[in-house]
């Protein structure tokens, strides 16, 4: 896979170089779970954003240039989403988080966000008490992971009746900040059939954030008002095109099977064309690497007999991504045994000892992606966040091993006890997954920026692919036959093109 070295000096050697994630069109794909139910319940909900593939002259990857998009992170936790978005071209001006230990973790790792005067401001506060006027005109994009306990498969499943449901606060932030776009992450339990009506309601609120609920108004009544507004949108209101998709972090280079729902929205007046990133890794490629022996040779291990680690690679579909899923062994290779003296000086790598498996709660396998790291309401569930040992036993991950599985760099340290560390790590968005989503969002804004830049200058934007510069023909003249031309030296058609939207 083609890759580009991360532009940030604090990137860890243990975190893969920033990949150029290809773009996957939405056409012809159906979401897993209950998306069909949700769409059927909400015929007036925001349509999926128009898909687009990179055309001639367009790079499916990170920003070209030095300008970064200012952003604000809600429910920042330990900073996984913020760090991944930063590596994709976003500069968080502030990180909002209520938890004391998580805020200490964020403050300890400000160097990972560039350091110096451009470092984000860490604000320890309940988002319900935040006044966003401080950030008016300074924020172009909003990100965050609203607390997932109301919708988690391992939680109490109370949804909208749970006081920890922070989606209303996410909507308020969008209403008051009026950003160009947003990206929110949540658990796959959000797509449960029992939550389908309320999830559709959340999507409509994000689509029409300037239609807030009235005091004492039932959510069903508010939903009807939102549907009417959506049907009669005038183009002058604050509206967003919203899309969502369930993604598996393992498909983007994370050594963990972690299914999450990503919700992305862009202002309708931008005419943005967003597509979710295509997977870059696959289970099929891992099976092939094991069957052919390359995986075992890579780790200096003897090739086991066929049948112990999956089927023969012969006959596997050739359409899967070439990159293989990463495994627990891939993630923790290079770390010394936490019980040895060599582990001294490695942050968050203290041993935790043996673990016990329980029904429904067992450890991960060394040569497969890790099971999803968890952070329960009352701490780490018994048997979870553990891995099988060579002698058939079970031990807990160290916090550093958990951080690697979530693709945090080794320089990124966590504050608090082991249980607190694992809670922060288990709640985090994997850095590489956040980077993949951020790259697609940044590309979308770049293309919208270029389009409106050409329109403002009087040129037919559809004739000019992004990154080509100023057309050689003046407005009104016939364009070149192929629709492209060289740009004038020193011109930058992107600069200031979105100013009239802010």
C-alpha distances (whole Å) from 96 to each of 71, 124, 254, 457 are 12, 6, 25, 39
User: Count of CB atoms within 10 A of residue 62's CB?
Assistant: 22
Of 86, 8, 62, 26, residue with least CA distance to 434: 86
Give the separation between CA 417 and CA 399, rounded to whole angstroms: 9
Hunting for tokens 């994000």 — which residue is that?
206
Give the separation between CA 74 and CA 89, rounded to whole angstroms: 18
Give the separation between CA 480 and CA 482, rounded to whole angstroms: 5
- Across 21-35, 186-200, 258-272, 299-313, the highest mean pLDDT is recorded for 258-272
User: Count of CB atoms within 10 A of residue 235's CB?
Assistant: 7
Q: What is the mean pLDDT of residues 227-243?
A: 86
pLDDT at residue 13 above 60?
Answer: no
**More confident site: 137 or 163:** 137
For residue range 105-132, list pLDDT tens digits in order.
999 999 999 888 889 999 999 999 999 9
Yes or no: domain 3-280+430-446 corresponds to CATH 3.40.50.150: yes
Q: Answer yes or no: are the C-beta atoms of 188 and 260 closer than 8 Å.
A: yes
Domain range list for the chain: 3-280+430-446, 283-426
Q: Answer yes or no: are the C-beta atoms of 238 and 211 closer than 8 Å.
A: no
Query: What is the share, in percent, of the chain residues with pLDDT greater than 90?
Result: 50
For residue range 324-377, list pLDDT tens digits in order.
999 999 999 999 888 776 677 899 998 887 888 777 778 899 999 999 998 865
Residues with catalytic function: 148
List the structure tokens of 204: 């409509």
Q: What is the mean pLDDT of residues 210-227?
A: 91
Helix or strand run (H / E) with residue 421: helix 418-427
Query: What is the share, in percent, of the chain residues with pLDDT greater than 70?
Result: 68
List the structure tokens of 482: 């192929």
CATH fold match for the domains 3-280+430-446 and 283-426: no
Give the separation between CA 473 and CA 480, rounded to whole angstroms: 8
Fold of 283-426: DNA Methylase; Chain A, domain 2 (3.90.120)
Residue 35 CB contacts under 8 Å (≥ 6 apart), including other chains: 191, 244
Half-sphere exposure of 171 (CA within 13 A, CB side): 19
Q: Is 449 exposed, middle or buried (0-12, 13-18, 19+ CB in 10 A)?
A: buried
**DSSP helix/strand/coil, 160:** helix
**DSSP helix/strand/coil, 8:** coil
Supply the pTM of this predicted model.
Answer: 0.78
């Amino acid at each position: 896979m083609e890759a580009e070295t991360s532009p940030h000096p604090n990137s860890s050697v243990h975190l893969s170089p920033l990949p150029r994630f290809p773009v996957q069109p939405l056409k012809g794909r159906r979401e897993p779970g209950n998306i069909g139910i949700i769409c059927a319940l909400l015929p007036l909900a925001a349509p999926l954003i128009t898909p687009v593939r990179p055309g001639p002259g367009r790079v499916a990857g990170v920003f070209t240039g030095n300008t970064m998009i200012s952003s604000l992170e809600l429910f920042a936790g330990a900073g996984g989403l913020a760090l991944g978005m930063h590596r994709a071209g976003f500069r968080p001006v502030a990180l909002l988080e209520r938890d004391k230990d998580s805020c200490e973790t964020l403050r300890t790792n400000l160097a990972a966000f560039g350091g110096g005067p451009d470092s984000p401001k860490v604000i320890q506060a309940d988002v319900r008490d935040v006044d966003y006027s401080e950030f008016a005109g300074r924020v172009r994009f909003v990100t965050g992971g609203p607390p997932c306990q109301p919708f988690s498969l391992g939680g109490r499943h109370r949804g909208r009746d749970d006081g920890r449901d922070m989606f209303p606060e996410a909507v308020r932030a969008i209403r008051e900040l009026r950003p160009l776009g947003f990206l929110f992450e949540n658990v796959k339990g959000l797509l449960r059939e029992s939550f389908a009506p309320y999830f559709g309601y959340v999507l409509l609120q994000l689509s029409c954030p300037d239609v807030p609920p009235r005091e004492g108004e039932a959510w069903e009544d508010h939903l009807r008002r939102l549907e009417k507004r959506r049907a009669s949108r005038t183009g002058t209101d604050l509206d967003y095109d919203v899309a969502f998709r369930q993604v598996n972090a393992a498909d983007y280079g994370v050594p963990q099977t972690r299914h999450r729902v990503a919700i992305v929205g862009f202002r309708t007046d931008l005419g943005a064309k967003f597509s979710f990133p295509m997977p870059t890794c696959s289970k099929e490629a891992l099976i092939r690497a094991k069957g052919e022996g390359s995986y075992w040779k890579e780790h200096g291990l003897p090739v086991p007999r066929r049948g112990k680690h999956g089927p023969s690679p012969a006959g596997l579909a050739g359409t899967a991504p070439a990159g293989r899923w990463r495994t627990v062994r891939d993630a923790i290779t290079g770390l010394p045994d936490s019980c040895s003296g060599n582990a001294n000086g490695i942050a968050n790598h203290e041993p935790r000892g043996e673990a016990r498996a329980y029904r429904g709660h067992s450890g991960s396998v060394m040569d497969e992606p890790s099971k999803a790291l968890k952070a329960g309401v009352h701490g780490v569930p018994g048997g979870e966040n553990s891995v099988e040992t060579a002698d058939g036993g079970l031990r807990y991950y160290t916090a550093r091993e958990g951080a690697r599985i979530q693709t945090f760099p080794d320089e990124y340290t966590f504050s608090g006890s082991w249980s607190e560390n694992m809670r922060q790590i288990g709640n985090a968005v994997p850095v590489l997954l956040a980077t993949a989503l951020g790259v697609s969002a940044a590309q979308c804004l770049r293309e919208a920026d270029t389009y409106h830049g050409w329109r403002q200058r009087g040129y037919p934007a559809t004739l000019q692919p992004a990154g080509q510069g100023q057309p050689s023909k003046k407005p009104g003249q016939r364009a070149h036959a192929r629709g492209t031309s060289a740009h004038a030296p020193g011109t930058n058609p992107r600069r200031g093109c979105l100013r009239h939207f802010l």
